[in-house]
Each structure stands twice: as structure tokens, then as C-alpha cells.
Homo-oligomer: A and B are copies of this chain.
Amino acid sequence: ENNCLEMCDRPKNTNVRLSLPAVCIVWQTAMIILFGVFIRYNEESDTHWVEYKKENNIPSDIENDFYFRYPSFQDVHVMIFVGFGFLMTFLKRYSFGAVGFNFLIAAFGLQWALLMQGWFHSLDYTDGKIKIGVENLINADFCVAGCLIAYGAVLGKVSPVQLMVLTLFGITLFAVEEYIILDLIHARDAGGSMVIHTFGGYYGLSISWMLYRPNLDQSSRLQGSVYHSDLFAMIGTLFLWMFWPSFNSAITDHGDGQHRAAINTYLALASTVLTTVAVSSLFQKHGKLDMVHIQNSTLAGGVAVGTAAEFMLMPYGSLIVGFCCGILSTLGYIYLTPFMEKYMKIQDTCGIHNLHAMPGVIGGIVGAITAAAASESVYGAEGLINTFDFEGEFKNMVPTKQGGHQAAGLCVAICFGIGGGILVGFILRLPIWGDPADDNCFDDEPYWELPEDEEISIYFCSWACAVLIASKQTMQLTAFVVEDCVAFGVLLVAAEPNLPQRDSCPFVGDIFSQC
């Protein structure tokens, strides 16, 4: 009974009834004001398009960037909301939080990203307005991806308010880091291996390190999956996997750029699946496959090919990148994640180190090498300029130097990730955010109204019944029976603290009355 009480008491207040609405309303109001001041349609989404077309001799509406990028945008959108959201539903009792908070922070993040990225990239200096079109929507989704990756590391251990803070700072850091890497350093990063995955991965891992919970293993009972939660996660995996070619090609150059990026990603991902299966089977007893690997490591190839997807990586090059990443990522789940938890105090719920951080770094390196190895004989004179954007102030850039810039970009991404994560982690440690106690981790109960789980409810009630009937048969007194019922309850609650409260059991009363 002591044990039960011990498990039931909650020293931390997870009530976010004031803080969460306040954050949502205030920040959304701020967005409206900032959008009112800054954001306008660009020439392709404004009603003046019809005049713009004439002035610029654009022969057809089909030349509007919308038709080049909207299908890819929608694929990316699916990755952000269904892909990331469902990938994290694997936990048996945190699926609402996975898909719901993913939804919340993505919806906030994309607005803030439109502003932050707009100031850096789409500001029209003639009128001080940010002009947006479909490419800005894609970039906002990309920016959000960085924060969702970070969410993977702290999944189940933070409150929604903390997630909003994580996102606010994450988007801000992302926009600065992206500006430095893409504009100042002039690194190329079509699929965001560095900008999105490396940054997002280390950002999340650093936050998780700052929020280390030494006694978390007590609630490890909830840190597993059930059969159907693993299937829900596979929905996320597959939509990420299928649409990754769109992710890596969404903002590359019109024409061959998008075409090639899609092919490279398609191939890298296919290769990753086979090596993931191989390693997963080889390192388990009896050669059985582990769903964690299938759900996550199969995606590593898409991450690692992100930077180089638009380059002439060649089809076999993509296969090689995927081959290596499948192996490394799966080995990461088997050896590195437990090691990091035990010795480095980094609790990485979804294993984002193996899916994003490490493959992101590999992707940065592959990108640097591929860029450095570029030549006119392979790319063609115009193709080389086109692909690496050797124009304007970077007119005199050469591939080898570009390789160095790529490497510099990777370093910036890592530094921003780790530095930003430590800073934000420090903020998130303040005791004002309504984060859950260790015992409430990986549990939807603190933040969600949960439907009564009928199966378990029936089961619990059946206990009471069984005892009653058994007792009746042996002609015991009712009083004795009731005591026994209570004893049962205690025993049960001790073993299974997430059972519904006894008073929520609807027909125990009826049964008693029938005895």
C-alpha cells in the first residue's frame, strides 16, 4: 500500500491551464501584429501577377513558381505533420502527446519561421516588407523540422509550454544559423543535412542533456511500445521515407536540380533499408528484426544525402551513402544510445542522434567531398556555375574552395546546435513550465483528457466480480469480500499504476448491490 501511494503522489504540478493558453494566445497575437507590419504576398501570389507576367514576358501561368514547387511543398507538409507526428506515436501511452504537440509546435513554428527567415532572405528593401510565396512556405516547414527533430530527444519528458519555448528559440537560432551557412559562408544545403538535421539533432541532444533525469528508469515501464502503436509509427516512417525525395528537391533549382535531387534521395533511401534490415537481424538473438530500427534507421540515408542530393553524386554514390548510413544508424541504436544514456547523461527518447545528428554530419561531409570533387568535365561549364551558384560575389569560387566552405558550414551547424541547446536547456530547467515528474514521463495523462480504456476497465471490474462470486460460493461475509476487493485494488495499482481510478469503474456498484 505504501508502494502504491509512493507511485501515485505527484510532487510536480503539471497543470498548464494558465500558462499554455497564455503562451498560445499571446504569441499568436504577436504573430498577427508582426504579419500585419511585415508580411505581404510576393509578385507571384499577388493579384498584380497578371501585370507582372506581361512586364517580364512570362508566356504562361504555368511558369509561376507555384507549379514548380507546390507538389513538393505538399509532400514536405505531410512529412512535417504526419511523418514526424506519427513516427513518435510508438510509445504505448504517449501517442496523443506525440502527434498533438507535434501539431501544435509545427503550427506555431511555421509562422515564426516565415518572419525570421523572411527578415534574412525575403525582405524587400524598397518597402520594408517580407514578400512570401510557396518557396517561403517550404522553408518555413523546413525550419520547423529542426525543432521537431529536437522534440524527438525530449519526447515524453517535457510540458507543451516547454515545447513552445523550445520552438521559439529553435526557430530563431535556425534562421540565424541558416543565414550564416547559406548566405555568408555560401555553403549549399538543399536537403538540409547540416542546416536542419545536424543543427536540430544537436540542439535536441543538448537540451536533453541539460534536462537529464537520473531516476527516469523507474518509469521505463511506459517507455515501450505495443503492437498497434508500432504500426502507427510505421505510418510516420513510410510517409517520411516516401516523400523524402520531395524534401531534398523542394527548393533546389528548377529543372535538372529538382529532378536529380529526387533521384539521388530515392536511391539512397532504398539502399538504407537493406543495410538496416541486415544489421538489425545480425545483432539480435535469433535474427529477429527490431521495429525501432525499421522505423528509424531506414530514413538515415535520406538525411545523409541531403546536402549532396543536388550535386552530381551519381546514382551509385547515393547507394553507397545509403549503405553506410543504414549500418551506422542501426549500430547507433544498438550500442550508442544506451552508451549515451549511461555515460553521457543524454536520454534520447527517439534516438535522434542515430537518425538525424550523425547522418546529418555524414551528409555534411559527403556534401563537402562531392563539392570539392566537382569538375567542369562532369558538370559542364554552365552546369557547374548553376549548381553551385558561382555568381555575384562568389563568381570566382572554385569547387575545392566550395568544399571548404561546406565543411565550415557543418561546423557552424554543430556549434549552433550544441550552444543553442545548452542555452535553451538552461531556460527550460526553470521550475515554471509545468514539466512532468519522472513518474509521469511518457504518459499522456498529465496533459490530455484520456478516454476510459474499456478493455482495462472491464478487466479491473471483473476482478471485483470474481472475488465476490468466489466468496459467495464459499459463503463468506460480504464485509470480508469488500476488504478483499480493496486488497486486490492495492495489489493491482501497485503493479499497474496506469489503470483507471477505482471510482471510475462504472458497475462495481451494481455488482455489490446484487450480492
CB-CB contacts below 8 Å: A205-264 with B: 224-232, 234-235, 238-239, 241-243, 245-246, 254-256, 258-260, 262-263
Question: Which of A48-56, A189-197, A398-406, A415-423 is found at the contact surface with chain B?
Answer: A48-56
Q: How far is the CB of A34 from chain B (nearest CB, A)?
A: 8
B95, A227: Cβ atoms closer than 8 Å: yes
Q: How far is the CA of A378 from the CA of B41 in the complex (A)?
A: 11
- Residue on B with the closest CB to A100? B294
Contact A319 B70 (CB under 8 A): no
- Among B62, B281, B380, B495, the residue within 8 A (CB) of A20 is B281
- A258-313: which residues lie under 8 A (CB-CB) from chain B? 258-260, 262-263, 266-267, 269-275, 277-279, 281-282, 284-291, 294, 298, 312
The answer to whether A373 has its CB under 8 Å from any CB of chain B is no
Size range of the interface on A?
A: 35 or more
Q: Is residue A119 within 8 Å, beta carbon to beta carbon, of the partner chain?
A: no
User: Is A314 engaged at the interface, CB distance under 8 Å to the other chain?
Assistant: yes
Which of A175-183, A342-350, A353-361, A445-453 interfaces with chain B? A445-453
Query: Smallest CB–CB gap between A190 and chain B, Å?
Result: 14
Q: How far is the CB of A233 from chain B (nearest CB, A)?
A: 10
A64 interfacial by beta-carbon distance below 8 Å: yes
Option from B279, B290, B473, B507 in Cβ contact (under 8 Å) with A471: B473
Segment among A150-158, A362-370, A425-433, A457-465 that sits at the interface with chain B: A457-465
What separation, in Å, do the CA atoms of A207 and B103 have in the docked complex? 33
**Interchain CB contact (< 8 A) of A256 among B40, B46, B476:** B46
List, in ascending order, chain B residues with CB within 8 A of A379's CB: 47-48
Which of these, B63, B269, B275, B282, contacts A17 with CB under 8 Å?
B282
Does A411 belong to the interface (CB within 8 Å)? Answer: no
Chain B nearest CB, measured from A370 CB (Å): 12
Q: Which residues of B are found within 8 Å of A273, using beta-carbon distances?
A: 103-104, 107-108
Residue-wise interface mask of A (108-136) relative to B, using a CB-CB cutoff of 8 A (1 in contact, 0 not): 10110000000000000000000011100
Closest to A472 in B: B484
Cβ of A478: which chain B residues have Cβ within 8 Å of it?
Answer: none
What would 19 more interface pairs be, CB under 8 Å, given A32-B271, A39-B316, A226-B455?
A: A16-B287, A17-B286, A31-B271, A35-B319, A47-B260, A47-B380, A51-B382, A53-B255, A59-B59, A78-B239, A82-B242, A96-B289, A107-B271, A108-B270, A134-B259, A291-B449, A456-B458, A467-B469, A491-B514
Could you list some 20 contacts between A and B, CB below 8 A?
Answer: A15-B287, A18-B287, A20-B287, A24-B277, A25-B275, A31-B271, A32-B320, A36-B316, A45-B256, A47-B256, A50-B256, A60-B63, A82-B235, A96-B230, A107-B274, A111-B267, A228-B232, A235-B235, A467-B470, A474-B474
